[in-house]
Structure 1
Amino acid sequence: MKKWLIALGIILVLAFGLYRWAVNFNNTAIELKESSTQNWANVESAYQRRNDLIGNLVKTVQGAADFEKNTLTDVIEARAKATSVSIDPTNITPEQLAKFNEVQGGLSGALKSLLVTVERYPELKANQNFLELQAQLEGTENRINVERNRFNETVMPYNKHIKIFPNSILAGVFDFKELAYFKADAGAEKAPEVNFEFN
């Protein structure tokens, strides 16, 4: 009879230990994933701020100069594409992130073209509204970069938590999937060429 009680005690201790491990794994994974989700929302907020500023920038540029319509059209179209792509922050895949980066990169490129082309218009460069908007856009680009870096910083501990053994077993059981990191655009390691010749 005593052997039976000892065996039952060992089974209960093991079962309780497994239960505590599963609960601890699940709760930690949820906390880490929520932290990443919150940081993703900050990334989207920074992009939204840029999208909001672009409308004001385009209106200021249109009002201040007889401006090239193609450049403005490119910015407006790129902004529309950028706002049409969204990601589920609880299930960020590399494919979704690549598509998101592609449209945001298109918007960044269109904005760079706009700001370089604006150099032709001295009266626009002296316009206080334009200067303020340009400074706001530069600050927003910095915010976007900071928020993307913070997002990556929160993805790492989450991915590490669900990938290490034996947590990887429970990750499969509880259906926790790896999150994708923000990565630089292809060719971003090369410095861009800046050409101020407008002939």
Structure 2
Amino acid sequence: MVPFIVIGGIIVLIALFLISVFNKFVKNKNVVKDAWSNIDVALKRRYDLIPNLVETVKGYAKHEKSTLEAVISARNAAMEVPTGDINAKIKAENQLQQTLRSIFALSEAYPDLKANTNYLDLQEKLNTIEENLERSRRYYNGTVRENNTYGESFPGVLVAGMFNYQHFDYFETDEVSRENVKVDFS
């Protein structure tokens, strides 16, 4: 009788352990997805603002058509990435960020554009959105760090495969985005 109680106790402890680990995986995944939804809202606001910004710049920088087309192209590419594919979305956003930097570099060469109140208003709105994105990125990266650490350390690593553990990428600036924007007017 005693061996059955001991074996039953061990089975119950293993079951409780697995339930606890599973619940932690679920919690971490949901926190990461919640953090991503905050970023997604800010990205939507940025997508809506970009066409207005491009139209404002068009009037002043007519011969900068390729730069403006690159911004719209990057925006459209970022918008087309499926919502659930967070890692692909991060890559598309890094490309969009790089093209947006080039549009602000244009304003340095066009003093009239820099003085345009509509442009300044759009730039201020975009800066506010970028600040919100930065805060959301930090929060998202913190939740990703917690999720990935748990899934790659003991005890999570023991059962990660069994519970479909999902590793998430950090939302980092890619190497291209770290370089200074070069604007050539020759």
TM-score (norm 2): 0.85
Question: Does structure 2 retain, via aligned residues, the 8 Å contact 1:65–1:121?
Answer: yes
SS in 1 for 2:158: helix
% identical aligned pairs: 30
The answer to whether 1:113 aligns with 2:113 is no
User: Which residue matches 1:156?
Assistant: 145
In 1, Cα distance between equivalents of 2:83 and 2:4? 49
SS in 2 for 1:178: coil
SS in 2 for 1:52: helix
Q: Return closer, same or farther for 1:56/1:34 CA change in 2, 3 Å cut-off.
A: same
User: Which residue matches 1:14?
Assistant: 10
Letter aligned with residue 172 of structure 1: G
Question: Does structure 2 retain, via aligned residues, the 8 Å contact 1:39–1:147?
Answer: yes
SS in 1 for 2:38: helix
The answer to whether 1:51 aligns with 2:40 is no
Letter aligned with residue 72 of structure 1: L
In 2, Cα distance between equivalents of 1:51 and 1:177? 28
User: Which residue matches 1:25?
Assistant: 21
2:167 to 178, 187, 190: 178
The answer to whether 1:67 aligns with 2:56 is no
Q: Return closer, same or farther for 1:74/1:127 CA change in 2, 3 Å cut-off.
A: same
The CA deviation at 1:22 is: 1.1
TM-score (norm 1): 0.80
In 2, Cα distance between equivalents of 1:37 and 1:71? 33
1:167 to 135, 156, 160: 156
The CA deviation at 1:142 is: 2.3
In 2, Cα distance between equivalents of 1:120 and 1:180? 37
User: Which residue matches 1:122?
Assistant: 111
Does 156-165 or 132-141 show the bigger shift?
156-165
In 2, Cα distance between equivalents of 1:35 and 1:67? 45
Question: Does structure 2 retain, via aligned residues, the 8 Å contact 1:72–1:114?
Answer: yes
Q: Return closer, same or farther for 1:17/1:31 CA change in 2, 3 Å cut-off.
A: same
Does 25-34 or 175-184 show the bigger shift?
175-184
Letter aligned with residue 103 of structure 2: L
In 2, Cα distance between equivalents of 1:160 and 1:109? 30
Name stretches of at least 5 consecutive residues in structure 1 with no aligned partner: none
SS in 2 for 1:175: coil
The answer to whether 1:78 aligns with 2:74 is yes
What do residues 100-146 of structure 1 show as CA deviations (whole Å, max 9, x unaligned)?
34432332222222222233433332222211110111222222222
User: Which residue matches 1:135?
Assistant: 124
The CA deviation at 1:83 is: 1.0
User: Which residue matches 1:88?
Assistant: 84
Name stretches of at least 5 consecutive residues in structure 2 with no aligned partner: none
The CA deviation at 1:177 is: 2.8
